[in-house]
Amino acid sequence: MKKVLLTLLAVMITTVPTFAATYNAASKVPTVGANLLTKNNIPSKNVKFTVASGDVDNSNYATNKVINVSSADLAYTGNDSEVAAVVANEIGHIISGHASKGKVKNLLQAGSNANSDTATSTIISNYTSAKEEKEADIIAADLMVTAGYNPLAIIVVLTKQTGTYWETIQGKPANADRAMNIFNYISYAYPAKVKAGYGCAEYRNFLAFANPEIAERKANKKAETKLSKELAKSKKNSANQITKFRTRGGLSGWDAAYGLLNSAQQ
């Protein structure tokens, strides 16, 4: 009887799952961020990475060299590639000068008494935001691959989040449009990464949603040709923006424009 009990105890011990220590995403941000910059030959001297709650603002990066990363976004990460997806997206926005572009517009509109259509402005703003996120995602993928991270982590982080009402009733994963956009880009620019895959349930669920749509598009030669041209353009745009940001010493075109305008008005 004693022997039986010992045997059962041994089985229980070997079958009880072991849990690794909780992954601390915030602590990984400085190291992952520095790696993204240095491996892409982007000036990293005096650059500081910080984790902030809520929405982050990196519009002053050109002067303070601080890259803020959202703790809310980091909550959906579970490894270094997923942390890189969040950090690289913020760097992508900085390289594209999205926040700086807003500062330039505000500077030009300062003192203007022109009335604006609030509803129209909101629609344009939402469209611009979605477009800018996709642009930042593509730059992020390029930065991640060069730095040795899996760009498919972008899709995982996006689809781990809570979907909108319409995404839910349509059976789509969260951020389906952005996820499909970056998946198409990675398939075009880094097919070996897609072939290797990403081992998690979120990615498998995304593929279950995406594969029928991809098959339908591939059956339409015109649509496939159009997408290929758009992806080639996106790849060229990303490469150009990264190169120019690097050669300017860490300034986007909008940063440079803001500096000139601000100096002229002082």
pLDDT in tens, 144-180: 999 999 999 999 999 999 999 999 899 899 999 999 9
Provide the b/e sequence for 39-48 (b: ≥16 CB within 10 Å): bbebbbeebe
Q: What's the pLDDT tens digit per position in 23-36?
A: 999 999 999 999 99
Find residue 50's DSSP bridge partners: 68
Q: Residue 245: name the closest of 236, 232, 254, 235 by CA.
A: 254
pLDDT at 105: 74
Q: What's the pLDDT tens digit per position in 205-244?
A: 999 999 999 999 999 999 999 999 999 999 999 999 999 9
- The CA-CA-CA angle for residues 191, 154, 198, to 5°, reads 55
Q: What is the mean pLDDT of residues 55-63?
A: 91
pTM, full prediction:
0.84
Q: Residue 25: name the closest of 88, 79, 67, 63 by CA.
A: 79
Q: What is the mean pLDDT of residues 72-84?
A: 97
Q: How confident is the model at residue 265 (pLDDT cuts 50, 70, 90)?
A: low
Phi-psi region of 165 (alpha: psi -120 to 50; beta: other; left: phi over 0): alpha
pLDDT at 55: 85
Kindly report the average pLDDT of the chain as a whole number. Answer: 86
Q: How confident is the model at residue 112 (pLDDT cuts 50, 70, 90)?
A: low
Q: How confident is the model at residue 258 (pLDDT cuts 50, 70, 90)?
A: confident
Q: How confident is the model at residue 62 (pLDDT cuts 50, 70, 90)?
A: very high
pLDDT at 147: 98
Percent of the residues in the chain that have a pLDDT greater than 70, as a whole number: 82
Burial class (CB within 10 angstroms; exposed 0-12, middle 13-18, buried 19+) of 150: buried
Q: What's the pLDDT tens digit per position in 11-23?
A: 333 333 333 458 9
Q: What's the pLDDT tens digit per position in 178-197?
A: 999 999 999 999 999 999 99
Is pLDDT of 257 > 90?
no
Structure tokens, 7: 């045997």
Selected residue with higher pLDDT from 16 and 114? 114
Is pLDDT of 44 > 90?
yes
